[in-house]
Structure 1
């Protein structure tokens, strides 16, 4: 199903619905009473990974994000988000190093959607940011990833969120040629269903399925992704603890090649906290099956990359027979400031890599309310070599 056809069906359905609760008295009031929010950003990234590039490279990027959402009128609302990026001091080596994630000039209308709410059901169609279990954009770089499609959520069942998603386009951080990513076709479309339940105090259950059409074009192979997660958290006075488990399963089906390939993986995590100190340990394992994709696919967008053993900066592919261990320690100095460290070790068929990271953040108050800064530093050891540093400053208004 193409997005244009889906949009017509969705809009026709919305036109037949009505709501008795009007937040605005007129369409003009809906626009007049709309809310505007913005953020000014300044990011500095540096990277020194001799295995991939010679020497040390860095990049400085600034940007503006502006968001506007109308007030609700007859259940309808509209929203738009504009984001821009500039890297005024980048040299050729810095551009080459950060071509996939930070080297971007220009502006993009990353959100432009029409939404309708009836009771506890919400329908959104157009360009939008998403944070569903298997379709989620990352905001860790200056430009946030976005999608074009439709999203339906329902909360009629107590303590339960049900969702259905369709996307046909994806906006990456950059176009890998110096500009902000454009909304390009996402394979031949992707569908997803998910459910999140919190009926039992402290327990969160998540289940999700997604299908990517024609994921491996050379084989005309579709990809089904299944995901499940169990998280339990509780507190006894100043002491808290949490236990988590996650599971992914990929199924590649190809009628043309007459093959079915599968690969799966899981993660386990245990954490504890006392007052302002918290810590965790985690383990993950990917099966040794080979697939047309060459690795386990976690979903669409880098925001769906939620394996428990991720390091704070560096990332790795979920290759067959990969094992990873991680541990972290976090201390909240004040309600506005935090410091922490994370250690990650990965072992694959070809290499062993360790990541040792440190981070700190501070949120201002008073006359500087809205301003926040954070810094991350990570060294890479074992078969890998190098280090990375990231500084982010932002002002939200």
Structure 2
């Protein structure tokens, strides 16, 4: 791994001297993610924690380079590779990420962009990560989803950032195109990380982020998603002046499907709102409580339309995504994090979701309760996280009567940064 980094760095620096490229930076990481659970398996197959049939794992290598090509012009490139390293032959039966044919090695360029800055305006074009409320790169998995896009950012207005973007392609499992094989634990990427047209026709986005009133950050976003929908996102986060360390937040998301669009005439609009109260007045301590409610209609959930279904709503679960943004979902989230100096950062997360119109059928309920406990620590360049997750969901781990049964998961995350 170190030799690969040094070889690439040497090649880049050699090119830099020949073409007057400055400020070359090489970085990356190597990951090993492992998970196991005790979900019920078919008759005759063990359903115990750490058993091969109930376990999944992947390794990933990411190597990135950024450089200044000329005054005001920069570029970046990132390569990713995912492999099971043969773990599926004895330790696990499933992969973490969506590989081609489940266990084949996969490699791709996740970023390849060029950016130019003039005054307070920057234009970035190419393949890149995005971070907007309804279309973003998800960072929880062994590899991120990315986009082929053009983004312009302007900061001429005081305390204001204006963003405009065109998104043409994505390798995420978007809300319109079929997701990868559900046997994969991670639906963040298409099969083989293949890039295809985003939401069938591409999308435009425009955003404004303002903090003229210093205790508050306010943002507003608009999306024109081709023949799919128009979408809106409003959010305000305020640091309370009266009580030090208290923060208050409010969110509203709305997706209005287009008549005659590719979702069909029966498609319905969707919306959701959320509130959050947090306290960060003690060093290392983070406490928060959040509530969200989605309306009882909607053909596209209030979540990332370009990945696994993770939502930016304050109530999002630690592991079980797609619930809080679904139609008629009412959700609560309690979070407690404390950084114990020189020991570890500890976290406890509780999410409860109730839904009275599951699958669009009145009277059909869909509930999910998740409790997650984590411990994270860095050992120099090595980041390590251990997580325990208790999941009790109506539509998971079904018994003979189609009732969901609670189950446990244990996950380990190792990331070596270089």
Does the alignment pair 1:380 with 2:404? Answer: no
Alignment of 1:1-397 (within 5 A): 28-30=19-21, 33-50=23-40, 55=47, 57-87=54-84, 88-91=86-89, 98=96, 100=98, 105-172=105-172, 176=181, 180-186=192-198, 187-214=200-227, 222-234=228-240, 239-255=244-260, 261-275=268-282, 276-289=284-297, 291-293=298-300, 295-302=301-308, 305-317=311-323, 318-334=325-341, 337-349=344-356, 350-364=365-379, 369-381=380-392, 383=394, 384=404, 385-397=406-418
Contact 2:33 2:58 (C-alpha < 8 Å) held by counterparts: yes
Contact 1:133 1:194 (C-alpha < 8 Å) held by counterparts: no
**Unaligned residue ranges in structure 2 (runs of 5+):** 1-15, 49-53, 174-178, 185-190, 357-364, 395-403
Deviation digits for residues 69-111 of structure 1, max 9, x if unmatched?
1124032212100011111212599555746489662211111
Contact 2:309 2:321 (C-alpha < 8 Å) held by counterparts: no
Distance 1:313 1:382, change over 3 A: closer
SS at match of 1:261: coil
Contact 1:175 1:181 (C-alpha < 8 Å) held by counterparts: no
Partner of 1:3: none
Question: 1:379 offset after TM fit, Å?
Answer: 0.1
Instruction: Decide which structure has greater strand share.
Output: 1
SS at match of 2:20: helix
Contact 1:68 1:80 (C-alpha < 8 Å) held by counterparts: yes
Q: Distance in 1 between matches of 2:155 and 2:342?
A: 32
Contact 2:278 2:286 (C-alpha < 8 Å) held by counterparts: yes
| RMSD (Å), alpha carbons | 3.0
Deviation digits for residues 99-148 of structure 1, max 9, x if unmatched?
64896622111111111111111111111111123321112111111101
Question: 1:259 offset after TM fit, Å?
Answer: 6.8
Partner of 1:9: none
Q: Distance in 2 between matches of 1:271 and 1:354?
A: 21
Distance 1:391 1:154, change over 3 A: same
SS at match of 2:130: coil
Deviation digits for residues 312-354 of structure 1, max 9, x if unmatched?
1111332221101111111110177310101111101222221
Contact 1:150 1:165 (C-alpha < 8 Å) held by counterparts: yes
SS at match of 1:225: strand
Q: Distance in 2 between matches of 1:143 and 1:356?
A: 24
The TM-score normalised by the length of structure 2 is 0.77
SS at match of 1:139: coil
Q: Distance in 1 between matches of 2:42 and 2:367?
A: 16
Contact 1:134 1:192 (C-alpha < 8 Å) held by counterparts: no
Distance 1:66 1:113, change over 3 A: same
Q: Distance in 1 between matches of 2:345 and 2:241?
A: 21
Contact 1:35 1:71 (C-alpha < 8 Å) held by counterparts: no
SS at match of 2:201: strand
Distance 1:85 1:97, change over 3 A: closer
**Unaligned residue ranges in structure 1 (runs of 5+):** 1-24, 215-221
SS at match of 2:214: coil
Contact 1:123 1:152 (C-alpha < 8 Å) held by counterparts: yes
The TM-score normalised by the length of structure 1 is 0.81
SS at match of 1:200: coil
Deviates more, 1:104-113 or 1:114-123: 104-113
Contact 2:134 2:312 (C-alpha < 8 Å) held by counterparts: no
Q: Distance in 2 between matches of 1:358 and 1:125?
A: 40
Contact 1:76 1:115 (C-alpha < 8 Å) held by counterparts: yes
Q: Which runs of 4+ in 1 moved over 4 A?
A: 51-54, 91-104, 173-179, 234-237, 256-260
Distance 1:374 1:93, change over 3 A: closer
Distance 1:332 1:297, change over 3 A: closer
Contact 1:165 1:193 (C-alpha < 8 Å) held by counterparts: yes
